[in-house]
């Protein structure tokens, strides 16, 4: 399988801070890949190195086989980055911005594709409005459109849904998933872990500039074998049961196999405590993320 | 070439969209200078025999306006893009540092020339200015505005806030242009300041430009062209070096 993104031994040192501390990573062509980590983990630095905005202190980075420093023109043509910050040029309309951005990439007549992107991102009615007058959500859509004007094989979205409404999220993911089905590689950073869980086939987790996990989403989720049962009781359970107190009047019990549930239920019966409500909780990416980041 | 021409087009469109501020305002300012100085000094000062003070003043005013606007264009465009963050759209594109330099430089030169032509047209009502060496004027215009445009790129890259850019403009560009002999001949200065003026490259831009109009100058015109040409090559080379290194643009 062709490699879309490849970084090897990547280090970025800012005076006192080591933003990236030896990252090795490959993203295959056609993948929907998640890059997760707490704030300051180095996600944006990694993306900025791929985009040529930041120069690495050590190591190499390639986009579709092109070195980001040596073959910068080819690597930048292969990459579309949606930046995290809501940036825009206040002098121009959305359509002007997209035409100009196409020109930067050497594409002269790109109106058909621009119209397609505008339509799919719900921007057509706003295309001739000055960027200053657009709402935050609309500006975010234009940022996405700008990253796509040159039809890059690799699309990087740096927290594209931070602070945006449900409508944009749905429109955006529908469009991006469509592009992914057509063969575009998508790399996503987000703090909404349910988005990563639903969309990404593989996930990398960063902490303090180091790669602390890299696996398929399914394997990451199955790392936590433990299920949990949440009980709402009419009294306090015996301490010997080892139930952990949850929110409100709820108590949590961790188990591997379902037949283990009989133990607390029998003990509660013996103690004369009634189970008012019971709920089974399955592990999600947030649990896995928290566990990995805490233990790393 | 498409990348370069698009960046140039974007830069031209940027100043054209605010033409009141970028073209009309400097023309009005130059006119005010002309009104005041020619009114006060026309009868009292004659720098060269047979040349009225107003005729003497106009080429300097045209050049000063061109220089200040060429500097303002590249520097303000870059600092605005850096502060608002939209410089990222240019930096992620496959543009070479030479294309980047050429587009910002040429746009600034064009703005300088448009303002210069505007000031020149307005002054037709004040004085009958001869045009002895038009190609000389063109060469000196391009080289001089090119120097200030490149200085604007350096200032735009270096400055991290508007305050720093204003300092660059007020403490370097303004003194260099005002103390270059726009309003006087350096022969009217005490010997020390005459000698000091010879270290100011803007003096050669103004003096050589005057020669192109009416054939009189403080120094030999060839020297002016040589100094201005050498400064253009040196400053352009330095700017290209900074851009290649990504100075304050690519961390």
Contact A68/B at CB under 8 A: no
Residue A164 is classified by DSSP as -
Contacts of B17 in chain A (CB under 8 A): 91
Question: Chain B contact for A104, CB < 8 A?
Answer: yes
Which tokens belong to A222? 């199955």
CB contact under 8 A, A53 and B251: yes
Q: How many CB atoms are closer than 10 A to CB A3?
A: 15
pLDDT at A291 over 90: no
Residues of A in contact with B5 (CB under 8 A): 103
Q: What is the ipTM of this complex?
A: 0.83
pLDDT of amino acid A224 = 67
Q: How far apart are the first and last CA of chain A?
A: 30
Which residue, among B1, B3, B6, would best test binding to A if mutated, counting the most A CBs under 10 Å from its CB?
A: B6
pLDDT (tens digit per residue) in B47-74: 677 778 888 888 999 999 999 999 999 9
Rounded to a whole number of angstroms, the distance from the CA of A99 to the nearest CA of chain B is: 9
Beginning with the edge strand found earlier in the chain, give each strand of the sheet holding A275-281 in spatial order: A244-245, A250-255, A227-233, A275-281
CA atoms within 13 A on the CB side of A1: 12
- Provide the chain B residues 70-99 that lie in CB contact (below 8 A) with chain A: 81, 84-86, 88-96
Question: Could you report the per-residue pLDDT of A54-69, keeping only the tens digit for each?
Answer: 999 999 999 999 999 8
Query: CA angle, corner B134, sides to B133 and B136, nearest 5?
Result: 70
Give the burial class of A126: count Cβ atoms within 10 A of its Cβ; 0-12 exposed, 13-18 middle, 19 or more buried: buried
How many angstroms away from the CA of A278 is the closest CA of chain B? 51
Residue A292 has pLDDT above 80, yes or no: no
Query: What is the distance between the alpha carbons of residues A41 and A21, in angstroms, rounded to a whole number?
Result: 10
Please state the domain count of chain B.
1
Stated length of chain B: 251
pLDDT at A103: 93
B250 in any annotated domain: no
And the tokens for B162? 């508007």
Question: Which tokens is A225 given?
Answer: 């074998």
Identify the band that residue A296 occupies on the pLDDT scale cut at 50, 70 and 90: low
- How many CB pairs lie under 8 A apart between chains A and B? 81
Taking an 8 Å cut-off on Cβ atoms, the answer to whether A108 and B85 are in contact is no
- Would residue B195 count as lying in a domain? yes
Chain A positions in Cβ-Cβ contact with residue B86 (cut-off 8 Å): 87-89
Q: Which residue has the higher pLDDT, B143 or A171?
A: B143
Is A225 a residue whose pLDDT tops 70? no
What's the CA gap between B107 and B90, in Å, rounded? 15
User: Is the pLDDT higher at B236 or at A277?
Assistant: B236
Neighbour tally for A144: CB within 10 Å: 22
What count of other Cβ atoms lies within 10 Å of the Cβ of residue A202?
Answer: 18
pLDDT digits (tens, 9 = 90+) for A157-192: 988 887 778 888 888 888 889 999 999 999 998 887
Domain extent, residue B114, equals 2-42+51-245
Q: Model-level pTM? A: 0.84
What does the alpha-carbon distance between residue B203 and residue B219 come to, in Å, rounded to a whole number?
A: 10
A chain contacts of residue B9, beta-carbon cutoff 8 Å: 100, 103
- What value does the mean pLDDT take over residues B28-54? 79
pLDDT number for residue A7: 93
- Using a CB–CB cutoff of 8 Å, tell me whether B163 touches chain A: no
Residue B217's pLDDT is 84
Residue B80 belongs to some domain of the structure? yes
Nearest CA in chain A to B85: A87
Instruction: Provide the 10 A C-beta neighbour count for residue B218.
Output: 21
CA distance B5 to chain A (A): 8
Q: Quick one: which of B65, B34, B31 has its CA closest to B183? A: B34
Residue B230 counted as domain residue = yes
Band of residue A221 on the pLDDT scale cut at 50, 70, 90: confident
Using CA atoms, how far apart are residues A144 and A86, in angstroms rounded to an integer? 11
Give the C-alpha separation, B157 to A73, whole Å.
22
H or E element: which one contains A289?
helix A285-295
- Residue A131 has what pLDDT? 92
Which of A31-45, B94-108, B192-206 has the largest mean confidence? B94-108
Rounded distance between C-alpha atoms, residue A198 and residue A187, angstroms: 14
Give the separation between CA B135 and CA B132, rounded to whole angstroms: 9
Pairwise CA distance, residues B141 & A153, whole Å? 45
Q: Which whole-number Å values give the CA distances from B151 to A117, B145, B161, B194, in the listed order?
A: 39, 10, 17, 25
Q: What is the mean pLDDT of chain A?
A: 86
**Reduced DSSP (H G I as helix, E B as strand, rest coil) percent helix, strand, coil of chain A, to 5:** 40, 30, 35
User: Pick from A56, A247, A89: which is nearest to B18 by CA?
Assistant: A89
A91 and B13 within 8 Å at the Cβ level: the answer is yes
- Residue B179 burial (CB count, 10 A): 18
Residue A237 CA: distances (Å) to CA of A196, A209, A270, B192: 37, 44, 11, 97
Which of the pair, B120 or B39, is modelled with greater confidence? B120
Element (H, E) at A187: strand A185-189
Do residues B150 and B228 lie in contact, with contact meaning Cβ atoms separated by under 8 Å?
no
Round to whole Å and give the CA distance between B6 and B2: 6
Residue B91 covered by a domain: yes
pLDDT of residue A185: 93
**Of B192, B156, B196, residue with least CA distance to B175:** B196
Sequence-separated (6 or more) residues with CB below 8 Å from residue B125: none
**Residue A81 near chain B (CB below 8 Å):** yes
Q: Are A60 and A95 in contact (CB under 8 A)?
A: no
CB contact under 8 A, A52 and B91: yes
Q: How far apart are CA A271 and CA B45, in angstroms?
A: 112
Query: Among all chains, which residue has been given the structure tokens 């940027």?
Result: B14
Residue A107 in contact with partner chain B when CB distance is under 8 A: yes
H/E segment holding residue B84:
helix B53-84
Spatial distance between the Cα atoms of B15 and B73, rounded to a whole number of angstroms:
8
Residues with Cβ within 8 Å of residue A200, at least 6 apart in sequence: A32, A33, A34, A188, A217
- Is A52 within 8 Å of B18 when comparing Cβ atoms? no
Tell me the three state secondary structure of residue B209.
helix
3-state secondary structure (DSSP) of residue B17: helix
Q: What is the mean pLDDT of residues A67-76?
A: 92
B165 domain residue, yes or no: yes
**Residue holding tokens 């399955």?**
A282
Residue B112's pLDDT is what? 96
- A48, A77, A100: residue with CB nearest B94: A77
Of all residues in chain B, the one with the smallest CA distance to A131 is B86
Q: Is residue B200 part of a domain?
A: yes
| Residues β-bridged to residue A214 | A204
Work out the pLDDT band at B158, boundaries 50, 70, 90.
very high
- Of B84, B71, B87, give the one whose Cα is nearest residue B154: B71
Q: Using the predicted structure, report yes or no on whether residue A1 has a pLDDT greater than 70.
A: no
Q: Please tell me which of the candidates A73, A92, A103 has its beta carbon nearest to residue B6.
A: A103
- Residue B18 touches chain A, beta carbons under 8 Å: yes
Number of residues in chain A: 296
Write the Ramachandran bin of B182: left for phi over 0, alpha for psi from -120 to 50, otherwise beta.
alpha
B96 and A76 Cβ atoms separated by less than 8 Å:
no
Cβ atoms within 10 Å, residue A94: 26
């Amino acid at each position: 399988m062709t490699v879309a993104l490849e970084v090897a031994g990547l280090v970025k040192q800012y005076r006192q801070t080591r933003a990236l501390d030896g990252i090795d990573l490959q993203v295959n062509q056609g993948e929907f890949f998640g890059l997760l980590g707490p704030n300051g983990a180095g996600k944006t630095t990694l993306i900025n190195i791929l985009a040529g905005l930041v120069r690495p202190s050590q190591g190499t980075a390639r986009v579709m086989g092109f070195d980001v420093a040596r073959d910068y023109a080819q690597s930048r043509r292969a990459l579309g980055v949606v930046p995290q910050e809501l940036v825009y040029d206040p002098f121009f309309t959305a359509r002007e911005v997209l035409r100009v951005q196409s020109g930067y990439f050497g594409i002269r007549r790109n109106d058909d594709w621009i119209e397609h992107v505008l339509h799919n991102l719900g921007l057509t009615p706003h295309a001739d409005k000055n960027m200053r007058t657009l709402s935050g959500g609309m500006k975010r859509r234009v940022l996405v459109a700008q990253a796509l004007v040159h039809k890059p094989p690799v699309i990087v979205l740096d927290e594209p849904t931070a602070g945006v409404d449900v409508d944009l999220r749905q429109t955006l993911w529908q469009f991006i998933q469509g592009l992914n089905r057509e063969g575009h590689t998508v790399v996503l950073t987000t703090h909404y872990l349910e988005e990563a869980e639903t969309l990404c086939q593989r996930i990398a987790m960063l902490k303090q500039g180091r790669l602390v996990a890299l696996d398929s989403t399914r394997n990451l989720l199955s790392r936590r074998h433990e299920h949990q049962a949440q009980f709402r009781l009419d009294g306090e359970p015996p301490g010997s049961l080892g139930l952990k107190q949850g929110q409100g009047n709820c108590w949590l019990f961790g188990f591997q196999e379902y037949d283990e549930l009989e133990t607390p239920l029998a003990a509660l019966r013996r103690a004369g405590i009634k189970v008012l409500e019971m709920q089974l909780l399955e592990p999600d990416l947030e649990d896995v993320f928290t566990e990995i980041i805490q233990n790393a | 070439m498409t990348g370069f021409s698009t960046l140039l087009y974007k830069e031209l469109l940027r100043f054209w969209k605010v033409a009141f501020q970028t073209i009309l305002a400097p023309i009005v300012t130059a006119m005010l200078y002309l009104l005041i100085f020619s009114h006060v000094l026309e009868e009292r000062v004659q720098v060269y025999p047979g040349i009225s003070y107003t005729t003497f003043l106009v080429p300097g005013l045209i050049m000063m306006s061109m220089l200040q606007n060429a500097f303002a264009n590249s520097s303000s465009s870059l600092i605005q893009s850096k502060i608002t963050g939209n410089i990222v759209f240019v930096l992620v594109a496959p543009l070479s540092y030479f294309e980047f330099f050429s587009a910002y430089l040429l746009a600034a030169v064009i703005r300088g020339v448009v303002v210069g032509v505007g000031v020149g047209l307005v002054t037709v009502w004040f004085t009958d200015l001869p045009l002895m060496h038009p190609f000389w004027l063109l060469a000196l215009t391009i080289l001089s505005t090119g120097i200030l445009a490149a200085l604007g790129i350096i200032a735009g890259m270096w400055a991290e806030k508007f305050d720093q850019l204003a300092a660059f403009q007020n403490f370097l560009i303004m003194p260099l242009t005002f103390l270059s002999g726009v309003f006087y001949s350096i022969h009217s200065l005490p010997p020390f300041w005459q000698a000091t003026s010879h270290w100011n490259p803007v003096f050669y831009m103004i003096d050589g430009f005057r020669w192109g109009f009416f054939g009189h100058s403080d120094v030999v015109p060839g020297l002016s062209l040589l100094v201005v040409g050498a400064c253009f090559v040196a400053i352009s080379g330095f700017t290209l070096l900074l851009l290649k290194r990504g100075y304050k643009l690519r961390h």
